[in-house]
Copies of this chain bind each other. A is one copy, B any other.
């Protein structure tokens, strides 16, 4: 498994302090969040693409990791991701380039993982 996926899973394995805190805001936000991504007039995949674009422009590395994993599960192709990267470059400017590079490298890592997983199963 790739290094960035592993780091992300380790993070996911931490105790969820917000949930355990009993603070109602976190609980409600956790309920609200998946509703925003539900299959609707826009598909879940399109919504994940939108969230990815915002995360790139806001430079939230862990958000990008999360949405790229989701998009992999939703079978977004490399070409789709690169067209999104190209658009965020034009709209967001050259300061997003390092983020795009890391994102493209991570997307490739995920592809590789998926390929190996598929081979293992057969």
Contacts and interface: CB of A to CB of B under 8 A. Distances in A.
Interface of A: 11, 14, 17-18, 21, 23-26, 28-29, 31-33, 35-37, 40-42, 46-47, 49-51, 53-55, 57-63, 77-80, 82-101, 104-105, 108
9 closest residue pairs by CB, A with B: A93-B93, A62-B98, A25-B86, A41-B79, A36-B90, A92-B93, A60-B95, A28-B32, A17-B104
When all copies of this chain in the complex are counted, the total is 6
Given A25-B36, A32-B25, A92-B93, A50 B17 contact: no
Binding site of A, secondary structure by majority: helix, strand, loop or mixed?
Answer: helix
A33 B32 CA distance: 12
A5 to B, nearest CB: 15
